[in-house]
Amino acid sequence: LIKCLTKGGKKGAKKKVVDPFSKKDWYDVKAPAMFNVRNIGKTLVTRTQGTKISSDGLKGHIFEVSLADLQNGEVVFRKFMLITEDVQGKNCLTNFHCMDLTHDKMCSMVKKCQTMIEGHTDVKTTYGYLLCLFCTGFTKKRNNQIRKTSYARHQQVLQIRKKMMKIMTQEV
């Protein structure tokens, strides 16, 4: 009976506490050349261990950046999503993924007593890129209009949407 007590150590020995950040590497995120500011920021990734390579873990990551940060401007409501395509050394090279407006900007554009018209179309550029373009339009009061509302009828909405798509394909 006494022999069994002295044989083993503690049952369920405590695991050694390791800081998770000690196993991480910092990488610089670089924006495409079309923007004034190339250095967006830094990102973390788990170090290479065995067959799992750290740079492969970064490819495909999407970074959301404001246009004001990229161009040193004041257009804060426009955000760009940049996707990591290549990792060179400690730099993540990104490319354009999509553009969007902030939620508060979209909410400020939508008002009562007007019609909101949304349209989208797929367009192929001269460089061979396939873009999915979205467009949002609103009806507006005329200068001499007395009526409070300025709604568009269903047929008018369809015509406006058709015109939007035509203009988007022509511009690209």
pLDDT digits (tens, 9 = 90+) for 2-58: 555 555 556 666 778 888 888 888 999 999 988 888 999 999 988 888 888 888 888
pLDDT digits (tens, 9 = 90+) for 92-139: 999 989 889 999 999 999 999 999 999 999 998 888 888 889 999 999
CA distances from 127 to 34, 95, 121, 139, 170 (A): 16, 15, 18, 34, 15
pLDDT on residue 39:
92
Is residue 168 scored above 70 in pLDDT?
yes
Domain endpoint, select from 104, 135, 154: 104
Domain containing 70 equals 21-104
Q: Are residue 129 and residue 79 in the same domain, yes or no? A: no
Q: Are residue 50 and residue 121 in the same domain, yes or no? A: no
pLDDT on residue 161:
94
Question: Could you give the CA distance from residue 139 to residue 161 in angstroms, rounded to a whole number?
Answer: 12
Count the domains in the chain: 2
Q: What mean pLDDT is predicted for residues 69-94? A: 90
Model pTM? Answer: 0.75
- Helix H or strand E segment including 70: helix 67-71
Tokens of 40: 């967006």
Token pair 């004041």 in the structure block, residue: 74
Chain length of the chain: 172
Q: Are residue 100 and residue 115 in the same domain, yes or no? A: no
Q: Are residue 95 and residue 134 in the same domain, yes or no? A: no
Q: Are residue 25 and residue 99 in the same domain, yes or no? A: yes
Question: Could you give the CA distance from residue 111 to residue 119 in angstroms, rounded to a whole number?
Answer: 18
Q: Are residue 30 and residue 73 in the same domain, yes or no? A: yes
| Stronger pLDDT, 9 or 75, i.e. the higher one | 75
pLDDT on residue 47:
84
Is residue 150 scored above 80 in pLDDT?
yes
pLDDT on residue 152:
92
Cross-strand pairs, 134: 120
Question: Could you give the CA distance from residue 63 to residue 12 in angstroms, rounded to a whole number?
Answer: 42
In a domain, 12, yes or no: no
Q: Are residue 92 and residue 33 in the same domain, yes or no? A: yes
In a domain, 168, yes or no: yes
pLDDT on residue 53:
86
Q: Do 46 and 69 meet the contact criterion of CB atoms below 8 Å apart?
A: no
pLDDT on residue 50:
81
What SS3 string covers 18-33? CCHHHHEEEEEEECCC
In a domain, 134, yes or no: yes
Q: Are residue 25 and residue 85 in the same domain, yes or no? A: yes
81 — pLDDT class (breaks 50, 70, 90) = very high
